[in-house]
């Protein structure tokens, strides 16, 4: 018996692009992925349901919204995605930055598990931010979509395995290899490596950007966010992610910034010392990146050599 399929599903990074789809007349079922995968735990769980539960709890804890709504939205996303076989075509719309590229990997791994027909999934890999595009520009992208092949699925599995691994050196190894069909993934993975604590001062690149932005002069968060993002080759942080970084820098036994009157942030004496290259940030808040719990990992990022090094003599760097 012939099964009548719905026409199309469109999966993308967030709600703002879905709004543009509607303005542009891109019809079908729209699925915003929403998750901020470069933050928090993403261990190698075999169940999408289990990972979604974990991610929902993390996002709520970090202040991304109300716990019940966050989990409901993620579960609705999953339920729709797992019905992909019911659609004639599933098109992925993602950008070149780290935020999107990790989502691409998870979406492809999820779709690959559904045994879809060859040619059923297509992808648009944009090097322009979709959220800044007009409806006409979005429409013009649609004919440029390309079929996701078995080789691209395999590449996505390699990326997801490296991202969820406990040992981060596999990330840089993959970033230095060929990743067929995912043209922006190598740069994104290298940028992910830079989110680990650096050997020089134990700050991540994003933390350093925030601290440097604050050192430019007292300012409120929106201006600090603008300054910090101007330092990125491919900006990927949202304002909520930046707010979380600012809170981290202001917390712990050695805060690097402090809030003064009129909601203006300034560096502390310790923050200025670390920016000057003298000392490391001790007592930073606990963090995860992918499958790596940084509170238990001996690995630090050396940006000069573009490799991980261990501060544990028992671990080969």
Helix residue spans in 166-238 (DSSP H): 169-175, 185-193, 205-215, 221-229
| Cβ–Cβ under 8 Å, residues 193 and 172 | yes
* Span 220-227, average pLDDT: 96
Of 192, 208, 180, 23, nearest in space to 103 by CA? 192
Domains within the chain, CATH numbers bracketed: 6-190 (3.40.50), 199-283 (1.10.10.10)
> Which single residue is written with the structure tokens 């290899």?
177
Which of 34-38, 143-147, 193-197, 309-313 is predicted with the least confidence, judged by mean pLDDT? 309-313
Tokens (6 digits) for 19: 């709004």
Q: Tell which wins on pLDDT, 310 or 74.
A: 74
* Span 128-133, average pLDDT: 94
* Span 144-155, average pLDDT: 97
pLDDT in tens, 21-65: 999 999 999 999 999 999 999 999 879 999 999 999 999 999 999
Q: Is the pLDDT of residue 124 over 80?
A: yes
Q: How far is CA 158 from CA 164, 178, 192, 234, in A?
A: 10, 11, 15, 23
For every residue of 118-176, DSSP letters joined together read TTSEEEEE-SS-GGG--HHHHHHHGGG-EEPPHHHHHHHHHHHHHHH-SSTHHHHHHHT
Q: Is the pLDDT of residue 2 over 90?
A: no
* pLDDT score for 4: 44
CA distance 218 to 88: 53
Compute the radius of gyration of the chain from its Cα atoms.
20
pLDDT category, 1, cuts 50, 70, 90? Answer: very low
CA distance 242 to 146: 33
Q: Is the pLDDT of residue 87 over 50?
A: yes
The residues, ordered by sequence, that sit 6+ positions from 254 with a Cβ below 8 Å of its Cβ are 270, 281, 282, 283
Q: Is the pLDDT of residue 215 over 70?
A: yes
* pLDDT score for 5: 54
pLDDT in tens, 186-205: 999 999 999 999 999 999 99
Q: Is the pLDDT of residue 101 over 80?
A: yes
* pLDDT score for 317: 47
Q: Is the pLDDT of residue 316 over 80?
A: no
* pLDDT score for 3: 39
Q: Is the pLDDT of residue 232 over 80?
A: yes
pLDDT in tens, 253-304: 999 999 998 889 999 999 999 999 999 999 889 999 999 999 999 999 999 9
CA distance 235 to 217: 22
Q: Is the pLDDT of residue 313 over 80?
A: no
């Amino acid at each position: 018996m012939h099964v009548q399929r719905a026409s199309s599903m469109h999966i993308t990074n967030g709600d703002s692009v879905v709004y543009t789809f509607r303005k542009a007349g891109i019809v079908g079922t729209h699925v915003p992925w929403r998750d901020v995968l470069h933050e928090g735990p993403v261990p190698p769980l075999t169940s999408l349901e289990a990972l979604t539960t974990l991610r929902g709890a993390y996002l709520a804890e970090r202040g991304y919204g109300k716990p019940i709504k966050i989990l409901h939205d993620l579960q609705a996303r999953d339920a729709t995605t797992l019905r992909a076989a019911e659609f004639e075509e599933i098109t992925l719309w993602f950008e070149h930055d780290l935020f999107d590229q990790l989502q691409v990997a998870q979406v492809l791994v999820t779709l690959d598990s559904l045994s879809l027909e060859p040619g059923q999934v297509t992808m648009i890999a944009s090097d322009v931010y979709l959220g800044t595009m007009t409806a006409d520009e979005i429409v013009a992208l649609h004919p440029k979509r390309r079929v996701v092949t078995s080789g691209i699925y395999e590449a996505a599995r390699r990326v997801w395995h490296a991202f969820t691994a406990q040992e981060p050196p596999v990330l840089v190894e993959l970033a230095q290899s060929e990743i067929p069909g995912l043209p922006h993934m190598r740069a994104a993975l290298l940028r992910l490596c830079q989110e680990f604590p650096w050997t020089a001062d134990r700050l991540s690149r994003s933390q350093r950007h925030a601290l440097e932005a604050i050192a430019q002069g007292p300012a409120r968060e929106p201006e600090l966010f603008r300054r910090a993002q101007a330092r990125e080759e491919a900006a990927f942080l949202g304002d909520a992610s930046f707010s979380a970084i600012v809170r981290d820098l202001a917390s712990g036994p050695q805060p690097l910034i402090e809030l003064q009157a009129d909601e203006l942030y300034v560096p502390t004496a310790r923050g200025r010392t670390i920016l000057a290259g003298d000392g490391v940030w001790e007592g930073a808040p606990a963090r995860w990146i992918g499958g790596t719990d940084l509170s238990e990992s001996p690995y630090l990022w050396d940006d000069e050599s573009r490799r991980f090094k261990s501060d544990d003599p028992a671990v080969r760097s």
